[in-house]
Chain A
Amino acid sequence: MTDVASSLEALAKRLAAAVEAANDEQALEAARVRYLGRNGEVTAIRRSIGRLAPADRPGAGKTINDAVAAMERVLDERRAGLAARDVEAALAHRIDVTFPAQPPALGTIHPIRRVIDDACAYFERHGFAVVLGPEVEPDYYNFDALNIPPGHPAREGFDSFWIDDTLLLRPHTSPMQIRTMQMHKPPIAIVAPGRCYRRDAVDARHLFQFHQIEGLLVDRGIHFGHLKGMLTGLCRTLFGAYQEVRFRPSYFPFTEPSAEVDTTCPKCTGHASACSMCGGSGWIELGGAGMVHPNVLREVGYDADAVCGWAFGFGAERLALVRYDVDDIRRFVDSDPDFLEQLGTIS
């Protein structure tokens, strides 16, 4: 055995011992540098080849290369072993997944806005625009233009808050029908959500301020069936896929024919005679609707023989009471953190 071979053998033994002792990647790398590194012990042996007879040099070179390869294998094996050990160790970790999370400090959107936004999004998907308007309105927009002239009995039904002889807090969102039609030519497809006011004493079912969602579609070829179609879709969006919608004849001066709109009670689906939501009738009243009265179309300068339209106005509080099973309408204006956190979402 040559000197080279024997020193390599000794070296390999020492490397093997060092590798064996290395307990982590770092120690292993230190061993590699010490023996196989640029200034390592193998390099020293390699340099000694120059002192050999020229005929012996190739053999010695091969011996060194073979030894290096063997040593690298030892290193690689150990490296693989260490990695496997680390994975095993990681896999053995166990935590208590039920340990409580710290909830992020998110805020909430009010349930009334949730209902309004969901309703508006439904109409927007069908090509409607959403418009907003003032809460203080002249009687012209609230009444006259809506076919409710002074002295009309329907004016009293709106029991409004007046500011002076002509200005009042809007008792409904229908002024937005007039404002929109006066600003735009047909076709019109809008929803107008907003705050309204009526002189109702506050109790579990009434507030003197509430929100309505108004809808208006005016175009050629629009009929009563379209109203039913859109409102059925709205109820299914808000309350569930199996909602049915019922129209009952009613009277509003600004629509003809007019309807009260009911939807099946989502709480009892008509199967509980003592249902707290519908009183056992199986139906929930949502609000009024109808075909826009020809006088209203004429008032905004439309040709009532050419275009037709429908409109509806629903109470958002009513929709939210039903949708979230709220027992008292006053909770909507209570700022109760528990209420807001139970029903609010961030989007």
Chain B
Amino acid sequence: MKVPISWLREFVELPAESNAIAQRLAMLGFPVEEIVRRPVIEGVVVGRLAEVDRHPNADRLFVCVVDVGDDAPLTIATAATNVAAGQIVPVARIGARLPNLRIERRTMRGIVSEGMLCSPDELALDPQWFDADGIMQLDESLPIGGDAVALLGLRDDVLDVEITSNRVDAMSVIGLARELAASYGVPLRLPSFVNAAKKPAEPAPRVGIASADCSYFVVQRFDHVHVGRSCARVRVRLALCGVRPLSSIVDVSNYVMLETGEPLHFYDAGSVQGGLVARDALPDEVLTTLDGVTRALDPKVLVIADESRALGVAGVMGGSSSEVGERTTSILLEAAAFAGARIRRSAQFVGLRTEASSRHERSVPPALADAACARAAQMLVELGAVAYAPVCAGSVHSAPRLSLTQHDVERTLGQVLAPGRIASHLRALGCEVDDRSEVLQVLPPAWRADLTIPADLVEEIARMEGYDAIEAVVPAVTAHDVSSREYERERQAARVMAALGYHETITYSLRARGGEGSVALRNPLSEEQRYLRSAIEPALLDDLARIGRPFRLFEIGHVFASEGGIVVEVPLLSMAVAGEQTNEPAWSDAQFIRLKGDLQAFLRELTGNAGSVRPVQRAGLHPGKTAGLSIGDVDVALFGRVEPRAERDRGASFPLYAGSVRLDRLGDTLRPRYRPPSRFPSTYRDLALAVGVEVSAESVEAATAHAIGDICTAVRVFDEYRGPQIEQGHKSIAVRAVMQRFDGTITDEEADAAVARAAATLHERLGATVRV
């Protein structure tokens, strides 16, 4: 919300420095997003054009005799075309400073010009909102010769203040002035909010409430209204607040809204049939709003209607059928309190967001309606209107009284405050405080609907004390029973992957494409992010293709699937590798084996078990180079070479590999137990075998270990060869078996016999023949 400091100063004494005021507001909970700096303008006074004549030597110039309150008037030449005798205008005298301009005496086609008449632009006001065609027009309300900058409030900066959604009362100049007055401990000078109009209108306007979402509705009638232009001071104030000045009547409603926080609406009384009522829109009702758009309504929308039709969207925007126009002489003023949620739904339905709706959707307190009506009446009467007594429907229910003790404050803030101090903070904010007993009885002010429990009062006290005054203390945490297990595993997983040479990254969980069982968003930002990811690898592989050199990535995150209408969420660790270009035979892939080694090392670190491998098939991965890893009978990981077509589609110039680990399936880590080594030496034997190409290394190892029996402490296939020397359909592999006893040294004879057993078993089970 834009607040001119000059307007605040009308109600409260403030420091000169804008920064200091902004700082104070921030520490009260109203951060200033921007200080809109006003340029330095000096030497501009209010002048009256006594005479205006054409320049004798120039068609395009006028020569004005300008009364600026001095004994002698000034002679000023101007190129502006909108000048006429009798106008009140801003006059920059000789020596005046304007933005980027200093006024000096100069001769214009033979006439000495003693100053300059100012356009809105020269006063740093938006010309589109004022007098676009020339000199800014002021009015009789300003004293001739007076400092125009001071009188119009053009010197002080404007604060763009952020107001939290609970403080609709502070979405107003008075609201913020009140906060500042309380905080600085200075008086708040408010205008009178008593409605002076006592005479009832004949007939009195009827007002009705036909919806639970309107709690209070005031209508006041004004006659002898003249719709014209507001005085310059009002127009400038509105403009500084970012509100476009329109007609004198509309400006009053905006002015009062900015000042008090209560949005007002005026109806042309002649266009209203019967009275005004707040009701749900009818199913097929239509309404042309003030912006000229005809809108189909719906019972979701709350409207203000007369006896025959909807006149406006309640709390959002009025309708053009009852718009106040130049011929309007009699008006009805509406001030009401609505349920914020309802106004938000209405505004969403009609697709409008206005200054009024931004306030009403935060539930403007009913008590503000009377005050705002009174203020508007005062301004309209000053403009010559005749006011009649307001009539109302509904009620302003008073806020509940709250009990508060010194202990409540100490318990929450950790600070001991005297009851008198507590009471004075609350009073400064408008609370009525009864402090005759230890339990303070506090009645929050009518405009503070947000103060409903003692904790709310504690916050007010803390704000007045200043949050800075709260002393930082480190608490002693009591033992509790919440475990960090899941997090610890993630943390360990990330560290192990980093140690293995993988770089952690973060990719988007929202993807353009989904498949069967994908979870879709109802309101994505774009189609690029419609689906929740069901796998992490695709994003990692895209990144690797972009990186374009050998690299290793991993990410830990959730994947999502819809199973029977339920969203299932699984924590995964996924990795992707862009490998080196190699020239390997079709039966070998060293980088696949390295990935397997990485995954097994990972599993061993996290669970104490490296898991067992078997070939599997998975869409997107190479059918002959994909494997699953399981621990016991639980599948925990899957990895492989990316399918060649998928590789090509990504434009990858390096072989790609990918894998994933189900972090949720890794059981507890086995605690290792130390086994002392045998005191007796070990021995080993190597076997060179010819086997069919389909025989797996794992089956050779298993058969060898089984045949050798207990004395076999390790067995490992360590070489594979295929080629011309080997029979077609066969491969040569080498396996080493290590043997050791705990009760004696293994003799050569024993080792040889064991290997012979192994050879026989391998032949029998796997058709292997020993090569010599």
Contact = CB atoms under 8 A, between A and B. Distances in A.
Interface in A222-254: 222-226, 228-230, 232-233, 245-251
Interface stretch (B39-47, B186-194, B552-560, B695-703): B552-560
A224 B414 contact: yes
A106 interface: yes
Contact of B503 (A180, A344, A347): A344
Contact of B520 (A135, A156, A163): A163
Interface string A186-230: 011110010101010100000011000000010100111110111
Nearest to B505: A335
Given A256-B456, A257-B458, A344-B504, A225 B29 contact: no
A113 interface: yes
A151 interface: yes
A215 to B, nearest CB: 11
A225 B467 CA distance: 10
Contact of B455 (A245, A248, A291, A347): A291
Contacts of B415: 225
Given A162-B521, A189-B480, A232 B494 contact: no
Given A162-B521, A340-B503, A347-B495, A228 B473 contact: yes
B413 A223 contact: yes
Given A127-B477, A163-B521, A248-B29, A132 B490 contact: yes
A264 to B, nearest CB: 13
Given A136-B567, A219-B478, A247-B468, A161 B521 contact: yes
B473 A229 contact: yes
A230 B484 contact: no
Given A107-B497, A189-B482, A126 B477 contact: yes
A308 interface: yes
B362 A250 contact: no
A32 to B, nearest CB: 32
Contact of B510 (A151, A152, A209): A209
Nearest to B342: A151
Contact of B484 (A105, A131, A156, A258): A131
A75 B455 CA distance: 95
Given A107-B498, A184-B480, A162 B468 contact: no
B82 interface: no
Contacts of B546: 335
Nearest to B162: A250
A340 B543 CA distance: 13
Contact of A180 (B166, B472, B482, B486): B482
Nearest to B571: A132
Interface in B698-748: none
A247 B31 CA distance: 12
B375 to A, nearest CB: 26
Grouping DSSP codes into helix (H, G, I), strand (E, B) and loop, the A interface class, with mixed when no group exceeds half, is: mixed
Contacts of A54: none
Contacts of A50: none
Contact of B412 (A189, A259, A260, A291): A291
Given A154-B165, A248-B29, A106 B498 contact: yes
A87 interface: no
B121 to A, nearest CB: 29
Interface string A310-347: 00000000000000000000001101110011001111
B471 A162 contact: no
A190 B482 contact: yes
A223 B468 contact: no
Interface in A44-65: none
A15 to B, nearest CB: 41
Contacts of A169: 521, 532
Given A132-B490, A223-B411, A346-B499, A184 B506 contact: no
A201 B526 CA distance: 10
Contacts of B510: 161, 197, 208-209
Given A109-B495, A260-B31, A127 B165 contact: no
Interface in B149-204: 164-167
A301 interface: no
B471 to A, nearest CB: 5
Contacts of B509: 135, 195, 197, 209
Which of under 10, 10 to 19, 20 to 34, or 35 or more describes the interface residues of A?
A: 35 or more
A308 B525 contact: no
B467 A247 contact: yes
B474 interface: yes
A337 B481 CA distance: 41
A337 B479 CA distance: 42
Contacts of A347: 495, 498
A159 to B, nearest CB: 9
Nearest to B540: A335
A161 B479 contact: no
A3 interface: no
A180 B497 CA distance: 30
Contact of A333 (B467, B475, B491, B507): B507
B67 to A, nearest CB: 45
A129 interface: yes
A113 B524 CA distance: 27
A37 interface: no
A257 B477 contact: no
A319 to B, nearest CB: 15
A156 B341 CA distance: 11
A153 interface: yes
Given A134-B569, A195-B557, A294-B453, A107 B503 contact: yes
A180 B481 CA distance: 11
Given A190-B482, A209-B509, A251-B29, A156 B472 contact: no
Contacts of A66: none
A78 to B, nearest CB: 38
Nearest to A135: B558
B470 interface: yes
Contacts of B241: none
Contact of B470 (A126, A150, A224): A224
A75 B508 CA distance: 77
B547 interface: yes
A124 interface: yes
A222 B29 contact: no
Interface string B403-432: 000000001111100000000000000000
Contacts of A112: 506
A120 interface: yes
B472 A228 contact: yes
B166 A251 contact: yes
Contacts of A344: 498, 503-504
A250 B510 CA distance: 32
B472 A335 contact: no
A12 B394 CA distance: 132
A275 interface: no
A248 B494 CA distance: 36
A199 B524 CA distance: 8
Contact of A335 (B344, B484, B507): B507
A107 B473 CA distance: 39
Contacts of B474: 126, 226, 229-230, 233
Given A136-B569, A333-B507, A335-B505, A346 B498 contact: yes
Nearest to A291: B412
A226 B488 CA distance: 26
Nearest to B455: A256
Given A135-B509, A249-B462, A335-B553, 4 more contacts: A107-B554, A187-B479, A219-B477, A219-B478
Interface of B: 26-29, 31, 164-167, 340-341, 344-345, 361-362, 411-415, 453, 455-456, 458-459, 462-463, 467-468, 470-475, 477-484, 486-488, 490-491, 494-495, 497-510, 519-525, 529, 532, 540, 543, 546-547, 549, 551-554, 557-558, 560, 567, 569, 571
17 contacts: A107-B499, A107-B500, A128-B477, A135-B558, A136-B567, A153-B361, A184-B480, A188-B480, A219-B477, A225-B415, A233-B474, A248-B29, A249-B28, A249-B463, A257-B463, A333-B507, A335-B507
